[in-house]
């Protein structure tokens, strides 16, 4: 399974090819799925470009993307989108259009409350566990651990510890699916590792602006096509 991460937290000056508005996300989703992606992940943005979990921002983004593709859509429900944990929960409770999954960063304050609010709304939770943080240990003790849909394991750096960590997560997940992905320079090496370990993977402009050969990517769809050869 390959998830296409369409936009992320890039600023307008960092890449003009990163979609921000609902129409751009819809086009990017359609192209990524046509290129072979099985799911899409979005970060709804305000007209000014900031992240938001407001129903007035999340709803139009989801509606546009769902009008373009028929695959699961994940929304990132983290501190970048809404820094205040109580406000984050209130936003989730006010959603009128629901994503298929929502990604919760388990190393951030308010992760438990965020997950509980999502589960109460019937939204599946993707548990974001970042290596080198307390997230994995917090999740291991979480009362919600056996209720999440999938673990999304993030390796920020392509060092020698990643494979052992990913294997331990997969072996200790009691059959729960694990998606392994990297960011920045780790994006492509970690995708190769995910394929080698038989785990789900992720690629897209959220994680890297480049192709495996180091050239600038023109779209997430171009990265998805390149992923077939890694």
User: What is the structure's pLDDT at 166?
Assistant: 83
pTM recorded for the entire structure? 0.94
Task: Domain 2-227: give its CATH superfamily.
Answer: Aldolase class I (3.20.20.70)
Residue 79: count other Cβ atoms within 10 Å of its Cβ. 18
Q: What is the DSSP letter of 110?
A: T
Beta bridge partners of 102: 75, 125
Residue 30 to residue 7: CA distance in whole angstroms: 14
User: What is the structure's pLDDT at 60?
Assistant: 98
Q: What is the DSSP letter of 145?
A: G
Q: Encoding tokens for residue 26?
A: 């819809």
DSSP-derived 3-state class of residue 185:
helix
User: What is the structure's pLDDT at 168?
Assistant: 85
The H or E element containing residue 222 is helix 220-227
pLDDT per residue, tens digit, the chain (230 aa), is: 999 999 999 987 788 899 999 999 999 999 999 999 999 999 999 998 899 999 999 999 999 999 999 999 999 999 999 999 999 999 999 999 999 999 999 999 999 999 999 999 999 999 999 988 999 999 999 999 999 999 999 987 766 678 888 888 878 777 789 999 999 999 999 999 999 999 999 999 999 999 999 999 999 999 999 999 88
Q: Encoding tokens for residue 151?
A: 């673990």
User: What is the structure's pLDDT at 158?
Assistant: 66
User: What is the structure's pLDDT at 159?
Assistant: 67
Interhelix angle for 187-197 vs 162-171, to 10°?
A: 40
């Amino acid at each position: 399974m390959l998830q296409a991460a369409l936009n992320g937290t890039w600023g307008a000056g960092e890449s003009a090819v990163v979609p921000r508005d609902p129409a751009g996300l819809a086009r990017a989703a359609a192209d990524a799925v046509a290129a072979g992606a099985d799911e899409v992940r979005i970060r709804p943005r305000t007209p000014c470009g900031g992240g938001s979990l407001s129903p007035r921002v999340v709803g139009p983004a989801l509606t546009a993307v769902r009008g373009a593709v028929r695959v699961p859509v994940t929304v990132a429900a983290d501190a970048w989108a809404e820094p205040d944990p109580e406000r984050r929960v209130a936003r989730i409770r006010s959603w009128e259009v629901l994503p298929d999954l929502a990604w919760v960063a388990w190393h951030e304050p308010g992760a438990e409350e965020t997950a509980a609010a999502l589960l109460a709304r019937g939204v599946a939770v993707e548990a974001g566990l970042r290596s080198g943080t307390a997230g994995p240990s917090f999740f291991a003790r979480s009362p919600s651990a056996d209720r999440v849909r999938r673990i999304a394991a993030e390796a920020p750096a392509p060092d020698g510890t990643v494979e052992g960590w990913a294997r331990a997560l997969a072996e200790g997940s009691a059959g729960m699916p694990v998606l392994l992905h990297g960011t920045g320079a780790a994006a492509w090496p970690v995708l190769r590792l995910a394929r080698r370990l038989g785990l789900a993977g992720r690629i897209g402009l959220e994680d890297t602006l480049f192709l495996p050969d180091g050239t600038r990517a023109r779209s997430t769809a171009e990265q998805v096509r390149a992923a077939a050869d890694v």
